[in-house]
Chains A and B, each alone.
Chain A
Amino acid sequence: MEKVYLTIVLAPLIGAIIAGFFGGRIGRQGAHWVTIAGVGLSTALSFMVLARFIWDDEPVFNQAVYTWLISDGIRFEIGFLVDRLTAVMIATVTFVSLMVHIYTIGYMADDEENWPKDSRCGTNSYQRFFSYISLFTFSMLMLVMANNFMQLFFGWEAVGLVSYLLIGFWSTRETAIFANLKAFLVNRVGDFGFVLGIAAVAMYFNSLDYVEVFAAASEHADTQVALFGGVSLMTLICILLFIGAMGKSAQVPLHVWLPDSMEGPTPISALIHAATMVTAGVFMVTRMSPLYELSETALSFILIIGATTALFMGLVGLVQNDIKRVVAYSTLSQLGYMVTALGASAYAAGMFHLMTHAFFKALLFLAAGSVIMAMHHRQDIRDMGGLRHYMPITWITALIGSLALIGFPAFSGFFSKDAIIEAVGHSTIYGSGYASLLLTLGVFVTALYSFRMYFLVFHGQPRMDAHTREHLHETSWVVTIPLILLAIPSVVIGWMVVEPFLVSNWFASGDWNPIVVAPDHDTLLPIREDWHGQWAFVQHGLTMPPFFLAMSGLGLAAALWWYLFARNPRIDEQLQAMGGPLTKILEAKYGFDTFNQKVFAGGGRKLGTFLWNTGDRTLIDGGMVNGSAHRVAWLAQYARHLQTGYLYHYAIAMIVGLVGLLTFFVVL
């Protein structure tokens, strides 16, 4: 199987290299065919692997590919760990990636127009884009298939790099290159914690190999570290690693980069900033569950951060008018749900939501991209409306995506979100009450902003200018086919996998159980005990508050932005004006950006200038270096008066000296 796994990883890389370096020679056709072939091969093999795990009882694969280096007895390796958890991830990643590759043919078809005439970057930008997304697929696969912390970090940073390159893809736009720098730096703040977490693991376990570390984890359950007046080792490691996840999975307060990342072309918003890369943190914590289970403090921390992100970022989504930003805030909020699930030890539910979200959010982004193409790259939802008449496939698929997102019964999001809310409700660790409340309220908010966008875009009277309206039409098949192919799992995947994921612990194979849950943290136990099939689960959901909240959110959205809006087009502004200071706070996104810009960016520059001027230029160069030169010159000014050139001055000096020396010797 090693060859299969290597092929899965390397096929996209080879595609990326060919398209990247020889893009000019192979042309646009060549570039998209070679990358699609690479990712397609990966996808096929990933599904084969998944199938073998489902039906053939494929053994867990854990093997080094090569040794990176050995130092001080620690082996740093590049290797793969493929179990059922990984198999699910690679299938999801490659499938969404393949859809995005195909979609990109349509989306980037006229990319030359996005570049100024005098820019040579416009030539072959199409090929470059394909190269980047294939490179991303490679990096993401390296991340999820890693069998050790170092390779995890490799993949972690590599997806960050590609994200940087793609957010700033249109490098002549000031907003884009601001956003990509911001994204990279904020992620680096997370990585700062992450690397320290890895260092802690290396120090205490003398290994970075997952299996070795997890096996030894319980021995360190009670180890204390003399920091902050004594803290458990596991808490330290888990929180440090989670800081990395907060960066990558955009949790408060490191979420600030994700909305800005929408400056990148839409296909990558779907692939990187919704379906795959941002969920890396969720996957990482799930993978590390044997460690996280040993620290309730870390779990509480995760729970609180996740729940805060889930509700408060969803609220910001209510006041956004850019179609992509609404979806971006929705992504933040949904990531919050996944992370909260992790905090409640419902890792399986977190993974479940990760998977369903990958499909329906990729779908929503691609649908948004389809709308943007039809609208000639205008993204303000206030200027849309009535698009359902012009683009039926986009309309229906977007509706499916929205229903899945709000957790409409029997859609995929329903199963995963309900499972999370239920699990958090059963959690008893510190902060679970808070989290439970926020998540439940979040369901209402999700429905409200999702359908505000949906109604404003697809229903009502068309509000775009006449020229745009004349050219409105459904996008080409390379765009609509991926939409349809993503819409199908958005509907059915929840129904299909809820039982193996949540009930029968399908992830465990043989004696290897990737998702470890301590007995007293087992918040999914009530679901398992009470399991009577999917249909019963749906029926049970219909009696629970989240269902009513979702429906009332949907209903309110329909009332406001469908019924009332048709009569009063200014309803949206009036509502926001009614919000008063609350709207202001939401529009300012709670002031995170302003704060960071002033304190960190501005403060850093000020500190740098101060240190340079005062430290280097004034004290060291002025005082020590040139200062000592000046001191010597000054001394010489006086010393030279001694050298008068008169013989009798020298004679007297000699005699005085001689007498002085004689006296000295005689007296002693």
Chain B
Amino acid sequence: MYQFPLLTLLIWLPIIGGIVVLASGDRATDISKWTALGFAVFTFLISLGLWTGFDTTSAEMQFVERSAWIPTFNVEYFLGVDGISMPLIILTTFITIFVIIAGWEVITYRPSHYMAAFLVMEGIMIGVFSALDAILFYVFWEAMLIPMFLIIGVWGGPNRVYATIKFFLYTFFGSVFMLVALIYMYFQAGSFSILDFHTLQLGMTAQILIFIAFLLAFAVKVPMFPVHTWLPDAHVEAPTGGSVILAAIMLKIGGYGFLRFSLPIAPDASDSLDWLIITLSLIAIIYIGFVALVQQDLKKLIAYSSIAHMGFVTLGFFIIFTILRDPSATGGAVMGIEGGMVQMISHGFISGALFLCVGVLYDRVHSREIAVYGGVINTMPWFGAFVVFFAMANAGLPGTSGFVGEFMVILATFRADFWWALLAATTLILAAAFSLWMVKRVIFGEVKNEKVAALQDLNRREAFNLGVLATAVLILGIWPAPLIDVMHATVENLVAHVSLCKLPAAEAAQCILAVPTADLGLAGQP
């Protein structure tokens, strides 16, 4: 049966768009800007086809495209999406539109190159989310660094060289280990298909080494404590659009990696090392929460807040093992992963919007210092309202998307351990403290100085960006069911898969995970 190559189109359309925009150059910047926007919007519209054509009852890969690429090594051009990757692809195409619009007037230095970089970036990120061949994945994964390196390096702030090197080395350091793991698995499986990796039987030692290799790669991307320090620096130096892409999508690639690689390939290692991830996640929530509280720089504050929120993602993903191990537990594993996924999507909207808000201020005053501002709402009431709204969403207010994921993860964590849930729930206080204290100092109060007095409220483009994102945050908060429905079959399948021991027969004695699929969530009452 002929199937329309939707994913190929989604990957290459923005990349071709990028090349076109690049070629059109800066002679007629209006034309290149509109071309870039056209490509971004068109890509987004096409990506909606993934949503409408998606079969939510199936956990299988959909929209699959498969053909040989490097036959010698059995490398394939193998694409497909499931309920985990599909929402992330739509998030990518959605956010890219705002990034293009946000750079419209602000970027004066080679705007066409700037737009082109983001379009190329978009294509590559979609590639990461849809690649089902390990080498293809790795190529996209590393390729992603290039446009981001350029975006920060060319359009970044004064300290951009330090930030780009730090960003590049940090992420590259992690991914090298991942490559080794991928090649090892190729020798085991005889192919680079990620789906084949999922069914491999691996000994405990191999699993643990693979798990650690992946952990190094993904932990840096998420980022998890203690490999998070590149993020605040990268954000501070990145232009607004770069920060938005970084926070809204690139961080999600780490979370996605855990679900696509670590959990299904090395479930026994994940099971025996889950305490490590849970500990690091809780540190991220609490330690980083306190660190965010005292930041003087708006972007650093939001960057640290991102790390704390991503802690919920990893917590939700790895809390499931404690629940699966407990014979008396009554489900909760699916909720943990779904909560983490919702948190990723929601954080994409909220952190993206918050960075756009910082951009709005930075474009006018050219400072990100909290102390420079005060009483902004007196001159920018609409902007102030948006900041209060997004800060509330960031603090996980029910009715906004920020609540959904956190609530689900806390509910799941409670099933695993009361004290972990207690520590995780401190985010209710910490996130409110750092978000709203920032609001108090920046937005409320009397007009602090002449710069604030001279501020102009949002223009149409900015209002459009923030308005659409606010709507998305509200819709997801008020009715998250459609998003959960899309991922439900996939997540249930993943949990069923993860709960089976993958150790070879010789090591079967070490199996802790041996729960037959049918019993999941049906065990006796506690």
Which residues of A pack against B, CB within 8 Å? 66-74, 116, 118-121, 150, 153-154, 156-158, 161, 164-165, 168, 171-172, 174, 177-178, 181, 184-185, 188-189, 191-192, 195-196, 198-200, 202-204, 206, 223, 225, 227, 604-605, 607-609, 611-612, 615-616, 619-621, 624-625
Q: Is the CB of A119 within 8 A of B447?
A: yes
Extra contacts, 18 of them, besides A71-B338, A227-B418 (Cβ < 8 A), are A69-B404, A70-B488, A72-B333, A72-B412, A119-B379, A120-B379, A121-B381, A164-B436, A171-B443, A177-B444, A181-B440, A195-B425, A206-B330, A206-B331, A609-B294, A612-B290, A615-B287, A615-B291
- The proximity string for B residues 399-426 relative to A, scoring 1 for CB distances below 8 Å and 0 otherwise, is 1000110011011111100100110011
Given A72-B332, A72-B521, A616-B229, A604–B290 Cβ distance below 8 Å? yes
Q: A202–B332 Cα gap in the complex (Å)? A: 10
Q: Is the CB of A188 within 8 A of B453?
A: no
Chain B residues whose CB sits within 8 angstroms of the CB of A172 once the complex forms: 375, 378, 444-446
Can you give 9 A-B contacts (C-beta < 8 A)?
A71-B338, A73-B521, A157-B398, A184-B436, A185-B432, A195-B407, A198-B411, A203-B332, A203-B415
Q: A74–B330 Cα gap in the complex (Å)? A: 11
Given A607-B290, A608-B294, A72–B428 Cβ distance below 8 Å? no
Q: Is the CB of A177 within 8 A of B445?
A: yes
- The proximity string for B residues 434-459 relative to A, scoring 1 for CB distances below 8 Å and 0 otherwise, is 00110010011111000001000100
Q: Is the CB of A118 within 8 A of B378?
A: yes
Q: A313–B40 Cα gap in the complex (Å)? A: 60
Chain B residues whose CB sits within 8 angstroms of the CB of A189 once the complex forms: 429
Given A192-B428, A621-B229, A171–B293 Cβ distance below 8 Å? no
Given A177-B444, A604-B290, A119–B429 Cβ distance below 8 Å? no
Q: Is the CB of A71 within 8 A of B414?
A: no
A73, A196, A227, A620: the one contacting B226 at CB < 8 Å is A620
Q: Is the CB of A196 within 8 A of B436?
A: no
Q: Is the CB of B398 within 8 A of A153?
A: yes
Q: Is the CB of B335 within 8 A of A74?
A: yes
Chain A residues whose CB sits within 8 angstroms of the CB of B379 once the complex forms: 118-120
Q: Tell me how far the C-beta of B373 lies from the nearest C-beta in chain A, rounded to whole angstroms.
A: 14
Residue of B nearest to A67 (CB): B481
B479 at the A interface (CB under 8 A): yes
B313 at the A interface (CB under 8 A): no
Q: A189–B426 Cα gap in the complex (Å)? A: 8
Q: A70–B334 Cα gap in the complex (Å)? A: 11
Residue of A nearest to B375 (CB): A172
Q: Is the CB of A72 within 8 A of B481?
A: no
Q: Is the CB of B294 within 8 A of A71?
A: no
Chain B residues whose CB sits within 8 angstroms of the CB of A154 once the complex forms: 398-399
B377 at the A interface (CB under 8 A): yes
Q: A120–B378 Cα gap in the complex (Å)? A: 5
Q: Is the CB of B229 within 8 A of A168?
A: no
Chain A residues whose CB sits within 8 angstroms of the CB of B398 once the complex forms: 153-154, 156-158
Q: A454–B330 Cα gap in the complex (Å)? A: 59
Q: A665–B416 Cα gap in the complex (Å)? A: 57
Given A71-B338, A199-B410, A620-B226, A612–B428 Cβ distance below 8 Å? no
Q: A161–B338 Cα gap in the complex (Å)? A: 27
Q: Is the CB of A177 within 8 A of B338?
A: no
Q: Is the interface of B mostly helix, strand, loop or mixed?
A: helix
Q: Tell me how far the C-beta of A65 lies from the nearest C-beta in chain B, rounded to whole angstroms.
A: 11
B377, B414, B446: the one contacting A196 at CB < 8 Å is B414
B71 at the A interface (CB under 8 A): no
Chain A residues whose CB sits within 8 angstroms of the CB of B291 once the complex forms: 608, 611-612, 615-616
Residue of A nearest to B522 (CB): A73
Q: A621–B484 Cα gap in the complex (Å)? A: 39
Residue of A nearest to B332 (CB): A72
Q: A161–B474 Cα gap in the complex (Å)? A: 15
Given A72-B335, A604-B433, A621-B229, A171–B290 Cβ distance below 8 Å? no
B392 at the A interface (CB under 8 A): yes
Q: Is the CB of B526 within 8 A of A204?
A: yes
Q: Is the CB of B381 within 8 A of A120?
A: yes
Q: Is the CB of A68 within 8 A of B429?
A: no
B170, B412, B481: the one contacting A70 at CB < 8 Å is B481
Chain A residues whose CB sits within 8 angstroms of the CB of B339 once the complex forms: 71
Q: A439–B287 Cα gap in the complex (Å)? A: 43
A-B contact count (CB 8 A): 168
Chain A residues whose CB sits within 8 angstroms of the CB of B446 once the complex forms: 116, 172, 174
Q: A178–B230 Cα gap in the complex (Å)? A: 34
Which residues of B pack against A, CB within 8 Å? 166, 170, 226, 229-230, 287, 290-295, 330-335, 338-339, 375, 377-381, 388, 392, 395, 397-399, 403-404, 407-408, 410-415, 418, 421-422, 425-426, 428-429, 432-433, 436-437, 440, 443-447, 453, 457, 479-481, 484, 488, 521, 525-526
Q: Is the CB of A168 within 8 A of B429?
A: no
Chain A residues whose CB sits within 8 angstroms of the CB of B295 once the complex forms: 612
Given A604-B433, A608-B293, A611-B290, A116–B447 Cβ distance below 8 Å? yes
Chain B residues whose CB sits within 8 angstroms of the CB of A612 once the complex forms: 290-291, 294-295
Residue of A nearest to B166 (CB): A625
Chain A residues whose CB sits within 8 angstroms of the CB of B290 once the complex forms: 604, 607-608, 611-612
Q: Tell me how far the C-beta of A130 lies from the nearest C-beta in chain B, rounded to whole angstroms.
A: 16
Chain A residues whose CB sits within 8 angstroms of the CB of B440 once the complex forms: 177-178, 181
B332, B395, B425: the one contacting A192 at CB < 8 Å is B425
Chain A residues whose CB sits within 8 angstroms of the CB of B422 once the complex forms: 196
Q: A203–B381 Cα gap in the complex (Å)? A: 43
Interface centre among A71, A156, A177, A191 (most CB of B within 10 A): A71
Chain B residues whose CB sits within 8 angstroms of the CB of A178 once the complex forms: 440
Q: A204–B166 Cα gap in the complex (Å)? A: 47
Residue of A nearest to B382 (CB): A120
Q: A168–B377 Cα gap in the complex (Å)? A: 12
Q: Is the CB of B226 within 8 A of A624?
A: yes
Q: A177–B377 Cα gap in the complex (Å)? A: 13
B294, B331, B428, B447: the one contacting A191 at CB < 8 Å is B428
Q: A74–B412 Cα gap in the complex (Å)? A: 11
Q: A119–B399 Cα gap in the complex (Å)? A: 30
Chain B residues whose CB sits within 8 angstroms of the CB of A620 once the complex forms: 226, 229
Given A67-B481, A177-B440, A203–B294 Cβ distance below 8 Å? no
Q: A202–B70 Cα gap in the complex (Å)? A: 51
Q: Is the CB of A199 within 8 A of B414?
A: yes
Q: Is the CB of A161 within 8 A of B392?
A: yes
Q: Tell me how far the C-beta of B224 lies from the nearest C-beta in chain A, rounded to whole angstroms.
A: 12
Chain A residues whose CB sits within 8 angstroms of the CB of B229 once the complex forms: 616, 620-621, 625
Q: A171–B385 Cα gap in the complex (Å)? A: 12
Chain A residues whose CB sits within 8 angstroms of the CB of B170 once the complex forms: 625
Residue of B nearest to A193 (CB): B425
Q: Is the CB of B521 within 8 A of A66?
A: no
Given A71-B334, A72-B335, A605–B293 Cβ distance below 8 Å? yes
Residue of A nearest to B483 (CB): A69
Chain B residues whose CB sits within 8 angstroms of the CB of A621 once the complex forms: 229
Q: A611–B398 Cα gap in the complex (Å)? A: 30
Chain A residues whose CB sits within 8 angstroms of the CB of B287 once the complex forms: 611, 615
Q: Is the CB of A68 within 8 A of B331?
A: no
Q: A616–B443 Cα gap in the complex (Å)? A: 28
Chain A residues whose CB sits within 8 angstroms of the CB of B333 once the complex forms: 72
Residue of A nearest to B406 (CB): A195
Q: Tell me how far the C-beta of A144 lies from the nearest C-beta in chain B, rounded to whole angstroms.
A: 16
Q: A621–B330 Cα gap in the complex (Å)? A: 43
Q: Is the CB of B378 within 8 A of A121?
A: yes
Residue of B nearest to A125 (CB): B381
Residue of A nearest to B331 (CB): A72
Q: Is the CB of A184 within 8 A of B294?
A: no
Q: A195–B408 Cα gap in the complex (Å)? A: 11
Residue of A nearest to B457 (CB): A120
Q: A223–B404 Cα gap in the complex (Å)? A: 29
Interface centre among A66, A189, A195 (most CB of B within 10 A): A195
Q: A191–B431 Cα gap in the complex (Å)? A: 13
Residue of B nearest to A198 (CB): B411
Q: Is the CB of B526 within 8 A of A68?
A: no
Given A71-B334, A120-B379, A157-B397, A188–B410 Cβ distance below 8 Å? no
